Structures are given as C-alpha cells and as structure tokens.
C-alpha cells in the first residue's frame, strides 16, 4: 500500500465474513479498544466482523491480533486467518506459513491448496468444561440450556445447537440469550445447525461481540466437532452459511482443517482527522 498520512488498511472477506486488516509489522501496533469500536461502526467507520492486526512474531511468519466490533479481543478467527494467509502467500512466502495468534498457545499452519483455496489448520478442538470455559462443571455434549447445545472451544467458546428447521430459529433473540448466559463467563459464539446429510449441513451464526455473521470459520470447525461427537456427521463436512460454503476436515488427531474462498475488496486509508476523533473519544470521560 502507498505511503501517506493516516492509517492504511485492507478490507477482505471470506464467504461474506468481513474483516479490516491493518499491517503493523515493523512499527507500533496502533489499535486500541476505542479505535476498534470506531472502525467497526458500519456507518461512521469502515465496518467489520473482526479486525485483524498483522504484527511481527518470533518463530513465525507473522503474528495476529484479533478484535471484535465492540472493542473486545478475540482469540480465534478462522476466516480472517485465511485472509491474512492469502496476503502473506501473495508476498512470495510459502508454500506453507506459520502464524501466531495472540491468546492461543499453539501456532497455526496455513497453505494454498492445489485448487487455489487457502487452508488453515485451526489446531485442536477442546471439549473439557474448563477449556471452553464454562462457569461450572457440565456435560459439554448436552449443556443444561434450551436445545441442549454442544460446547466446543476452538481457542474461543462455541455453543452448537442442532435444530430440525433452520428457518424456524429466532436467531436475534435466541443467539444473544445464549451468548450472555451465566454459564459462559467469557460469553460465547452460538451456532444453529440443520443436518442435511452426514457430509453436509447448513447453519447460522450469532458471534459474541458482533451479532449475526454471514460466515465464521471457527464456528464451522466447532460445528464439525460437535456433529461428529453427536454421531450426526462425518469428519469431512461442508458447512453452508448465508455467505457461502466452508469445508472442514476434523482429523483423527483432533485438528480442524478449514478451507474456503478469500476475497480482496479494497485498500484504503483512515484520515488523520478521523483518527484524531477516535482518539478523542477514547480520552473522553
């Protein structure tokens, strides 16, 4: 991107799951909670499901810091990881990358498949109640909540509900009720899934700190894990979301391989005046 005043960024999406990407390699990370909130405003900012900040990371090709639109931090975002991997592979890195995501203990590996799709190893899924985390011991295969969802952690918490009819789900009321249930001390992402056959489902997602999203990579992984644990789906799964299809392979080793489309939308630059206004909002009492 060209140099100039202000702050450069990219807009990208994976199956409609949209991101702002800021490259902070070689300089101080400029993002604060207030800046993330201002950027996430779809009317006065740019708008995104997640903000991805690209930073230097020892022992990895790059590090990633994720922010939600409400200014909270996220420890996992599969589609954003794929988008950033696509950028790095375009720089001539590869054929495989190692990425370190802030808040995660294990690095993530990414590569470009022969068909051009970008695939990320999202690491191992966790199903222990402490790892989700839950506020108390509970059966993570059938939580004591309406719909008996399955709890899974992909570095972030998920509550996966299997339903008979996806169109009948009242997402905008059921989703936030589960997201903020006291059982989840860090809130949770919420999925509603209709199984079409053992290799194919369709789903809708309510994402913590964001709301309804057109797609979610970590949610698709959680769906694959939950479906296999319930005996409903195979380890290779196509997940159709409102924004498009994501593909998951849930390996015998517990790792989830996530692949799908990547789109570069535009490059832009936040003006110095806009940045100053965002900083003033943060400083205001």
**CA atoms 125, 126, 131, 136: torsion sign:** positive
Question: 91 — phi, psi (to 5°)?
Answer: -80, 0
Contact criterion met (CB below 8 Å) for 203 and 149: no
Half-sphere exposure of 66 (CA within 13 A, CB side): 28
Residue 77 a catalytic site member = yes
| Residues tagged in the binding site annotation | 17, 50, 68, 78-79, 156, 189, 207-208, 217-218
Spatial CA neighbour of 257 closest among 285, 278, 279, 235: 235
Contact criterion met (CB below 8 Å) for 224 and 240: no
| Residues tagged in the binding site annotation for substrate | 17, 50, 68, 78-79, 156, 189, 207-208, 217-218
- Report the C-alpha gap between 271 and 39 in whole angstroms: 12
Contact criterion met (CB below 8 Å) for 233 and 198: yes
Instruction: For residue 41, count other CB atoms closer than 10 A to its CB.
Output: 13
Catalytic residue, candidates 77, 83, 221, 256: 77
Q: Could you list the active site residues?
A: 77
């Amino acid at each position: 991107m060209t140099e100039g005043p202000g702050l450069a960024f990219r807009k990208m999406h994976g199956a409609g799951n949209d991101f702002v990407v800021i490259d902070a390699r070689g300089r101080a990370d400029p993002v604060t909670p207030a800046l993330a909130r201002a950027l996430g405003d779809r009317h006065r900012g740019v708008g995104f499901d997640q903000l991805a900040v690209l930073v230097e990371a020892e022992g990895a090709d790059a590090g990633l810091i994720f922010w939600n639109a409400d200014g909270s931090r996220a420890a996992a975002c599969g589609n954003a990881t794929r988008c950033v991997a696509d950028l790095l592979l375009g720089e001539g890195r590869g054929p495989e990358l190692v990425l370190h995501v802030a808040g995660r203990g294990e690095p993530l590996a990414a590569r470009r498949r022969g068909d051009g799709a970008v695939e990320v190893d999202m690491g191992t899924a966790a199903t222990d109640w402490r790892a989700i985390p839950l506020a108390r011991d509970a059966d993570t295969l059938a939580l004591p909540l309406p719909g008996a969802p399955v709890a899974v952690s992909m570095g972030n918490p998920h509550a996966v509900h299997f339903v008979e009819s996806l169109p009948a789900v009242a997402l905008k009321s059921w989703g936030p009720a589960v997201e903020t249930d006291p059982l989840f001390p860090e809130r949770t992402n919420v999925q509603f899934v209709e199984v079409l056959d053992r290799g194919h489902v369709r789903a809708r997602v309510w994402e913590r700190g964001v709301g309804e999203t057109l797609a979610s990579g970590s949610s698709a992984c959680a769906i694959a894990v939950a479906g296999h644990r319930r005996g409903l789906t195979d380890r290779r799964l196509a997940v159709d979301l409102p924004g498009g299809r994501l593909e998951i392979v849930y390996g015998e080793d517990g790792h989830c391989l996530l692949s799908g489309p990547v789109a570069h939308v535009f490059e832009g630059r936040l003006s110095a005046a806009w940045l100053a206004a965002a900083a003033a909002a943060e400083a205001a009492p």
